[in-house]
Amino acid sequence: MRTIGFISAADPEPILLGSIERCLRDHCCERVFLLREGLIESLSNCAPPDLIETVLGGSAEQIDELLAARRKARLLERTYSLPKPPKKAIELVGDRLILLTAQKGSLDEEDIANVNAVLFGDSKEPFAKPFGSRIFASPGDGAGAYGILFRDARGGLETKIFSQDGSLLAHAATEGKRPRFSITS
């Protein structure tokens, strides 16, 4: 089962990194998408200092800083930023097309005609609702809020929005694909 994570709140770096880590570790997300412009840039430079030099001659604080920088670099390896609006990103979850955008208002009918879910970053409140065969969702801008989207056991899509402490804020699901017609004899 493929799972993706998504975050839109412009949180301070430790909270943002915590949300990314929860998506990757607790929910086994393959990728995490930052749904607001500038979020990836808000994370400070994470290039770790020289490992051997720090371990051999560094203080305990310097070694702790090195480990924190290496942890951040590992988290960011699977974290993606969206292209600048009005551009959008498309992701596949199984055979389902997911549209990711920073601004829901930039979407038109053609954008959503063939997608199964729209994840957007400009909602103030957590939002997850099915509309027909599609899901529209945003984690909102609450501190530490994040969302996950995955295929459920029936073949449908499911999204969940969580708070920083892990409590469920919003949930939506769609049915799995059904045959377009049936043949009886």
Render each residue's pLDDT in the chain as its tens digit; 185 residues: 589 999 987 778 888 888 998 999 899 999 999 888 766 666 655 555 566 777 777 888 888 888 888 788 888 888 888 888 778 899 999 889 999 998 888 888 999 999 999 999 889 999 999 998 899 999 998 888 999 999 888 888 999 999 999 999 999 999 876 555 567 76
CB atoms within 10 A of CB 174: 21
The CA distance from 139 to 125, in Å, is: 7
Contact 185, 142 (CB under 8 A): no
The CA distance from 83 to 24, in Å, is: 22
Q: In 12-59, where does DSSP find H-type helix?
A: 13-21, 39-42, 51-57
The model scores a pTM over 0.85: no
CB atoms within 10 A of CB 129: 12
Domains and CATH numbers, the chain: 3-173 (3.60.21.10)
The CA distance from 54 to 19, in Å, is: 28
Tokens of 11: 């949180």
